[in-house]
Amino acid sequence: MSGDINERFTSFLHTIQLQDIRPMELHSKASGSTPPQGSGLQLEWRYAFAKGDPIASQLEIKVFRPKYEFNIKFNGSIIFEHTSKFIISFKVINAEAYEQLWAEEDLRKAFMEQQIQKTLWPLLRQHIHDGMSRLGLSPVTLPWVL
């Protein structure tokens, strides 16, 4: 982000407080076995927010409902699939500033595509690790999110 958007983004973050992060659905499926360590695994992942996000559960609470899907492949075949759905809620502590800044598309995009993702990534890493371990697969560590 450039300097001006960084300042506006920081101002936006000061308009809200993280209230809750709750996994609502976890699903893992093994379709094969993990190859020996060091073998070429491919990770594919995508995410989407539920239609209408954020929803207002109360006047000052904004709720996002992201869904993450992961596929781990070996030699082009999926060996592990995982889906995580969350509810992540924020309390608006400065409604006027929030509404003004939320109206800016670049800030909304940065918040939803970067801030929420970075907030949830450690949980997703754990979900993948646990899911693979519970299904008898050698866990794969997700990369850093920059």
In sequence order, the β-bridge partners of residue 28 are 82
Convert the pLDDT of each residue in 98-144 to its tens digit: 999 999 999 999 999 999 999 999 999 999 999 999 998 888 888 88
Convert the pLDDT of each residue in 39-89 to its tens digit: 788 899 999 999 999 999 877 999 999 999 999 999 889 999 999 999 999
Q: Is 144 within the bounds of a domain?
A: no
Q: Is 118 within the bounds of a domain?
A: yes
Q: Is 139 within the bounds of a domain?
A: no
Least confident segment among 18-22, 34-38, 141-145:
34-38
82 three-class SS = strand
Q: Is 15 within the bounds of a domain?
A: yes
CATH number at 50 reads: 3.10.420.10
- Residue predicted with more confidence, 99 or 2: 99
pLDDT for the residue numbered 2? 58
Q: Is 142 within the bounds of a domain?
A: no
Q: Is 121 within the bounds of a domain?
A: yes
- The closest alpha carbon to 14, from 82, 115, 146, belongs to 115
Q: Is 70 within the bounds of a domain?
A: yes
Angle between helices 3-13 and 95-102 (to 10 degrees): 140
Over 12-81, what HEC string results? HHCCEEEEEEEEEEEEEEECCCCCCCCCCEEEEEEEEECCCCCEEEECCEEEECEEEEEEEEECCEEEEE
Q: Is 143 within the bounds of a domain?
A: no
- The closest alpha carbon to 110, from 101, 123, 100, 122, belongs to 101
- Residue predicted with more confidence, 25 or 140: 25
Query: Per the structure, how many domains does the chain have?
Result: 1
pLDDT for the residue numbered 38? 57
- Residue predicted with more confidence, 7 or 3: 7
The residue segments making up the domain with residue 71 are: 3-134
